[in-house]
Amino acid sequence: MTNRIQVKETEKYYGDFEGSLVDIISQLQSELDAGWEGIDIEYEGHDGYQEYYLYKHRPENDKEYEKRMKLLEKEKAEKLKAKERRRKEYEKLKKEFGDD
């Protein structure tokens, strides 16, 4: 059994939040019908310009899963190498200083 995670997908939203509520709700309803779950706001620059991004979650696909597993394996190998380097340094210091 594989441990799949949920991937957050985003897409810039070009809709407008000005005007009649009926129009705004209609635009958002069509996005909801297309599978989007919510909207994130990002503030750009010093002037506080806002950009809107639609988001939804989905299970990661095989390619994303394989990439994540390779990255986890690489991180695990790097941790083992670092631990081995520390162990060798410890052994060297232990030889040098004994049981002082």
pLDDT for the residue numbered 49 = 86
- Per run of 10 residues, the mean pLDDT along the chain (length 100 residues) is 87 92 95 96 84 95 95 96 95 84
pLDDT for the residue numbered 46 = 77
Q: Is the pTM of this model over 0.95?
A: no
pLDDT for the residue numbered 38 = 96
Displacement of CA 24 from its chain's centroid (Å): 29
Give 54: exposed, middle or buried? Use CB within 10 Å, 0-12, 13-18, 19+. buried
The SS3 call for residue 81 is: helix
